[in-house]
Chain A
Amino acid sequence: MRVLFPLKLVALIAGCTALLSSQTPPSAYHSYDDMTATLKSLQSRYSSVLRLESIGKTSGGRDIWVAALRKGDPAQQRALLIVAGVEPVQVSGSELALRAIEHLAASYGKVDSVTKLLEAATIYVIPRVDPDASESFFAPLKAERSINATPYDGDRDGTVDEDDVEDLNGDRMITLMRVRDPLGDWMLHPEDARIMKKANAAVDEKGMFRLYAEGIDNDKDERWNEDPVGGVNVNRNFTFNYEFFGERSGVYQVSEPETGALADFVLSHPSISVVFTFSPNDNLMTPWKAEARATGENRVVTSMPKEDEEYYQHIAKRFQHVTGLKDAPKPEKGAGAFSEWAYYHAGRWSFSTYPWWATEVRSGKDTASADASRRGGSGSSATRPAREEAPDDASIRQLRTLRWYQAAGIEDVFVPWKACRHPDFAGQEVEVGGLKPFALDNPPAESLSTASGGFNAFFTDLASKLPSVAIEKIKVEALRSGVYRLSADVANHGYFPTSSTLGDRVRWSRNVAVTVGLDKGQSIAGGKARQVVGPIAGRGATIPLSWVIVAPAGSTVRLTAESPASGVATQRVELREQKGSRP
């Protein structure tokens, strides 16, 4: 195992005061080894419904686990996939996925909705896609790290991994570093001076600082921490809307073992018709919209077809209703993101949201305590809300987060700005401080229980909506003795269509195959022995089919309709005139 980051504790630098954290890491978050042990013990405890497998190894050599939750016929493979940890900083998502596994496994046989679900479908959960990166949450030096362990020339200067961050003040946390500079872009937030806000020249705001992550310019290129140890953000390495030469996006699409393992898992499981991902590429709080297609020579698809939009709108409403969540941060537009890939390039219904965010503190007393925490803001901040004049989602989120922790009684979530002598900025005023690493996305573990309940309810609801094929209204008419017209409706009783409009164009999801199984002495005079039909819209929509069959009276044929994503329906039909069927 390679060491993920060099512990260059540059506490030697005079003038830096070490801030000793009184807070130990949240005890209930699971490190990779803890998570693996928990998954294994869950597997042995719930062996009839839970199977653990590795979908591949990370660049650091760890197994990427998938838990398959299913009871009953393995051929009945309609499936929902839940993915966490594509954005490794969101360890909370990984934690919620782990809790979902335990919830589903433990509820089988106890909670009717879950029992019914696991007997009719499979729920796959991949709790941590990039554990190499997430381990920094559990390391002695806390640094938010979104990249895997592949050595990578981040600044493309011909040298690999040569400019990582450093802990300048010896607090075992990588926070921010600001350098006073009248030409800098950053200013103190008028509502809370602890927070740095990008100055908006359009409203006459003036910058006072330059802002960097805590560290030294190790490679002397006048850029700070631009080529850290390790390499690629898995959530920027998928093919949809991929950014070539982007920051941490990799040398090409799906260059990374984690990306390849996840893509191959999805593409080789056509049973998966719905994917849920914990990521910042939210579309459950702010649903996707169908936009007008680009015209001309550009054939690239960047927006969904209009036909699919209502499903995204509806599921978003369900999610907000079931979880009661509000105040979500704005979605991040993905560039090579997994959840967008899952819909646009893998053809599955794909939903995503942040695992956790600080909601606005609303009650009177909370507001008061939040107000009390504001320091150094300009007196006019009340009449000049920054939000209206210059929307700044990042700082709004930080403000909310600080208020939330304050209201929750957690004081030391912020490292106060303190002066620090820095070898790269001789004679300049440098301070280190900022929100503690991981605080934005990861509350204390015990605070996740409410979120976990909401998500678990949503997962059960989502899985109950998978497409489900049936054969109905079977009718046999004797055209004369020995010649029969067989007709039937192939129906879909799930909420989701057997494939989305976009998914129907993707090779990896086959639609519903309908076959007529014949015995010796039977033949088809009209219609096809095997045909693929669909997509069949959900909620009881049907496609009518008919065949003309030459067969002895009283013989039977087997009618089957199936697709990997919508299950199998089969009926044995006797070829004999049914009463009242002749007009």
Chain B
Amino acid sequence: MKTLMRTVALSFPVLLLLVLPLQRAEAQREKEFTSSSLKAMGAPNNPKVEVAWNRYYDTGELSEIMHRIVKAYPSLASVRSIGKSFEGRDMLMMTIGNRKNGDPDARPAMYIDGNIHSNEVQGSEVALYTAWYVCEMYGSVEWIRNLLDEKTLYIIPTINPDAREHFIHRPNTPSSPRSGLDPRDDDGDGVVDEDGYDDLDGDGNIVQMRIADPNGRWIADPADPRLLVMAEPDRPGQYTMLGNEGIDNDGDGRVNEDTPGYYDPNRDWAWNWQPRYTQGGADRYPFTFPENRSVADFVLAHENIAAAQTFHNSGGMILRGPGAKEDEKTYDRIDVQTYDFLGKLGEEMLPGYRYFVLWKDLYVVYGGELDWFHGARGIITYSNELWTSFDYFRKQGSDDFRAGRNTVYRFDKLLLFDEGIVPWTKVKHPQYGEVEVGGVKKAWTRTAPSFMLEDLCHRNMAFTLFHLYHTPKVAVDSIITRGLGNGLTEVTAIVANRRVIPTHTSQDVKNKITRPDWVTLAGGTVVSGMVLENRLLGIGTEQKRNPERLNVETIPGMGTASVRWIVEGKGPFTVTVDSKKGGIHSSRSR
């Protein structure tokens, strides 16, 4: 026993040296639980980039996650800045697509952004989750692999980084600042941003103020004393409401009337732009703000973008344009069919979300982002309003787009154990004397709680991935040759689009936004060429100039276009279809 003890004692340091690193690694893996014995469907098991999708990230954290994804998946992901924000932050964009399969900028692409309204933060998490998920799953899910081999995602998690920082790190309501941070004179007194909110209790949340007042008309709600309700008409009240937490900083008799900003970055886009007296939130002219101008410049320089998605909160909506009735003409029947197909797919994938036409079902917007993408660029575009009253108790109640106070407070009591509400707290107000502050915290009601955020990210991502999947994919379907004698051959080619979105939307065709698809013949001398309107009857329009490269104005979704040449030569002939938004494909005749 003694001997044994000694042996062990002697060998212990040696053993320790051998075993310790292993133990340490083992201990670490156990601690993180990045993989499990039974992988749930959906999330990756043992991801290369570990990210918790149940919390919100500031711009520094978003940037770090983006760079970690790029480091782990260099052939699938890259990150770059497309410009600077007003305060000089980089506008970081990820390009996702299999680089080993060619230049991602030459493939059909989808643009995704979030957070144009700075308080509507979770769009950034959805956008970034998308980049992360497709990279992580590329190796194990064939559908994702095919998608990234053929298509490209451009993802800008936040296009309002300055004010995202403000929302997260400065006192705010769930609805502020919404604007970007270029200062403006909101109250017309010649001074900018001089009367914003004031965080009287220093907790980072701008909530409500009330003052005890026997002549007030409000009382504590007997059902939940954190809420106030109007006193019965014949009963005395307890409180007077004083609005959002704040001070009259500029002594003009008004409180919080000139906050940081204020303008609406989503009324700054160059389609049916209107000035502020017609459209609240509009500023000087379209793309006044560098964030939006950078996006516009990027999109103008990338004609391969055939689909776009922007994320907002809240209300549970899949919105398409137009923002104003008079623009109904820019969404004609063919384009609406495409929108309806994907919109209805979205309603199925996103319970509680409704597929809406902006001006008709929500409100009128002039100069909105989605209208510019569709109207000016002919790109199939949706805006999703993330998080809905349905999500609270997963039933369609009497609440409309946003949950009512009672639902919010009930949910807070039953599922958040009072965490989401600041209880009424006494503070000294320099102008009102002793008041109480209390109400909904900024990271709640417009944003999902932790345990529902991952669900929100995944479902919305899935909708956008089907949208990307249905961007056009062109192919030379078949080449039919017929000898004409005298060394001449008639070559007929059918080019197809294997997806639902056409190579040019109707808006694109009408306004010649994107150059036509080119169908080119090689392997003979072209004598004449025509684009066929009716292949079976041989009816078409001759293209007199440059017939080797025929201009096809669009290839419809799940449809074809046909062309015909008279060629000197016997072949074989190579036919190539080259579409800005649909990719390139070649085939050789036998």
List residues of chain A with CB under 8 Å of any chain B CB.
Answer: 155-158, 220-222, 238-239, 242, 244-245, 251-255, 260, 263-264, 267, 296-301, 344-345, 502, 505-508, 510-511, 513, 528-532
Task: Tally A-B pairs: CB < 8 A.
Answer: 102
B9 contacts the other chain (CB 8 A): no
Are B276 and A506 neighbours in the complex by a CB distance under 8 Å? Answer: yes
Known A528-B252, A530-B252: A252·B546 in contact at CB below 8 Å: no
List A contacts of B278 (CB < 8 A).
299-301
List A contacts of B372 (CB < 8 A).
252
Are B545 and A529 neighbours in the complex by a CB distance under 8 Å? Answer: no
List B contacts of A528 (CB < 8 A).
252-253
List A contacts of B454 (CB < 8 A).
none
List B contacts of A510 (CB < 8 A).
185, 188-190
List A contacts of B424 (CB < 8 A).
none
List B contacts of A297 (CB < 8 A).
324-326, 359, 364
Are A158 and B515 neighbours in the complex by a CB distance under 8 Å? Answer: yes
List A contacts of B511 (CB < 8 A).
156, 244-245
Are A513 and B270 neighbours in the complex by a CB distance under 8 Å? Answer: no
B382 contacts the other chain (CB 8 A): no
Are B273 and A300 neighbours in the complex by a CB distance under 8 Å? Answer: no
Are B284 and A156 neighbours in the complex by a CB distance under 8 Å? Answer: no
Compute how far the CA of A502 lies from the CA of B276 in the bound complex, rounded to whole angstroms. 12
Known A220-B546, A239-B286, A254-B287: A345·B324 in contact at CB below 8 Å: no
Are A252 and B270 neighbours in the complex by a CB distance under 8 Å? Answer: yes
5 contacts between A and B (CB under 8 A): A251-B376, A300-B324, A301-B274, A506-B276, A507-B188
How far, in Å, is B303 (CB) from chain A's closest CB? 9
Are A263 and B285 neighbours in the complex by a CB distance under 8 Å? Answer: yes
Identify the closest chain A residue to B189 (Cβ): A532
How far, in Å, is A165 (CB) from chain B's closest CB? 19
List A contacts of B515 (CB < 8 A).
156-158
List A contacts of B43 (CB < 8 A).
none
List A contacts of B204 (CB < 8 A).
none
List residues of chain B with CB under 8 Å of any chain A CB.
Answer: 184-185, 188-190, 251-253, 270-279, 284-287, 296, 300, 324-326, 359, 364, 366, 372, 375-376, 511-513, 515, 544-546
Known A507-B276, A511-B188: A244·B271 in contact at CB below 8 Å: yes
Are A506 and B277 neighbours in the complex by a CB distance under 8 Å? Answer: yes
List A contacts of B275 (CB < 8 A).
239, 344-345, 506
Compute how far the CA of A263 lies from the CA of B274 in the bound complex, rounded to whole angstroms. 15
Are A298 and B326 neighbours in the complex by a CB distance under 8 Å? Answer: yes
How far, in Å, is B512 (CB) from chain A's closest CB? 4
Compute how far the CA of A345 lies from the CA of B324 in the bound complex, rounded to whole angstroms. 19
List B contacts of A157 (CB < 8 A).
512, 515
Known A263-B284, A263-B285, A532-B189: A244·B251 in contact at CB below 8 Å: no
Are A156 and B513 neighbours in the complex by a CB distance under 8 Å? Answer: yes
4 cross-chain pairs, A with B, having the tightest CB-CB distances, nearest first: A158-B515, A252-B270, A220-B545, A505-B277
Compute how far the CA of A239 lies from the CA of B359 in the bound complex, rounded to whole angstroms. 21
Are A239 and B273 neighbours in the complex by a CB distance under 8 Å? Answer: yes
Known interface pairs A251-B376, A506-B277, A510-B189; 9 further A-B residue pairs with C-beta atoms within 8 A, sorted by A's residue number: A157-B512, A244-B271, A252-B270, A252-B372, A299-B366, A300-B274, A300-B326, A513-B189, A528-B252
How far, in Å, is B267 (CB) from chain A's closest CB? 12
Q: Which of A238, A510, A530 has the most CB of B within 10 A?
A: A530
List A contacts of B324 (CB < 8 A).
297-300
- Which one of A158, A220, A254, A529 contacts B285 once the chains associate, using CB atoms below 8 Å? A254
Compute how far the CA of A513 lies from the CA of B273 in the bound complex, rounded to whole angstroms. 30
List A contacts of B376 (CB < 8 A).
244, 251-252
Chain B contact residues, majority secondary structure: loop
List B contacts of A296 (CB < 8 A).
325
Q: Which of B184, B278, B513 has the most CB of A within 10 A?
A: B278
Compute how far the CA of A505 lies from the CA of B359 in the bound complex, rounded to whole angstroms. 24
Known A239-B275, A530-B252: A253·B286 in contact at CB below 8 Å: yes
List A contacts of B273 (CB < 8 A).
239, 242, 253
List B contacts of A220 (CB < 8 A).
545-546
Compute how far the CA of A301 lies from the CA of B278 in the bound complex, rounded to whole angstroms. 7
Compute how far the CA of A17 lies from the CA of B287 in the bound complex, rounded to whole angstroms. 51
Compute how far the CA of A402 lies from the CA of B153 in the bound complex, rounded to whole angstroms. 61
How far, in Å, is B514 (CB) from chain A's closest CB? 8
Are B284 and A264 neighbours in the complex by a CB distance under 8 Å? Answer: yes
How far, in Å, is A248 (CB) from chain B's closest CB? 15
Compute how far the CA of A157 lies from the CA of B325 in the bound complex, rounded to whole angstroms. 30
List A contacts of B253 (CB < 8 A).
528
How far, in Å, is B361 (CB) from chain A's closest CB? 13
Q: Which of B270, B286, B324 has the most CB of A within 10 A?
A: B270
List A contacts of B359 (CB < 8 A).
297
Are B512 and A299 neighbours in the complex by a CB distance under 8 Å? Answer: no
How far, in Å, is B296 (CB) from chain A's closest CB? 7
Compute how far the CA of A296 lies from the CA of B324 in the bound complex, rounded to whole angstroms. 11
Are B190 and A301 neighbours in the complex by a CB distance under 8 Å? Answer: no
Are B285 and A530 neighbours in the complex by a CB distance under 8 Å? Answer: no
List B contacts of A529 (CB < 8 A).
251
- Which one of B188, B296, B512 contacts A532 once the chains associate, using CB atoms below 8 Å? B188
Are A267 and B284 neighbours in the complex by a CB distance under 8 Å? Answer: yes
How far, in Å, is A559 (CB) from chain B's closest CB? 17
Identify the closest chain A residue to B296 (Cβ): A252
List B contacts of A513 (CB < 8 A).
189-190
Identify the closest chain A residue to B276 (Cβ): A507
Identify the closest chain A residue to B325 (Cβ): A297
How far, in Å, is A339 (CB) from chain B's closest CB? 16
Identify the closest chain B residue to A562 (Cβ): B190
Compute how far the CA of A254 lies from the CA of B300 in the bound complex, rounded to whole angstroms. 15
Compute how far the CA of A157 lies from the CA of B185 in the bound complex, rounded to whole angstroms. 44
Compute how far the CA of A255 lies from the CA of B296 in the bound complex, rounded to whole angstroms. 11
List B contacts of A222 (CB < 8 A).
544-545
List A contacts of B544 (CB < 8 A).
222
How far, in Å, is A232 (CB) from chain B's closest CB? 13
List B contacts of A532 (CB < 8 A).
188-189
Identify the closest chain B residue to A238 (Cβ): B285
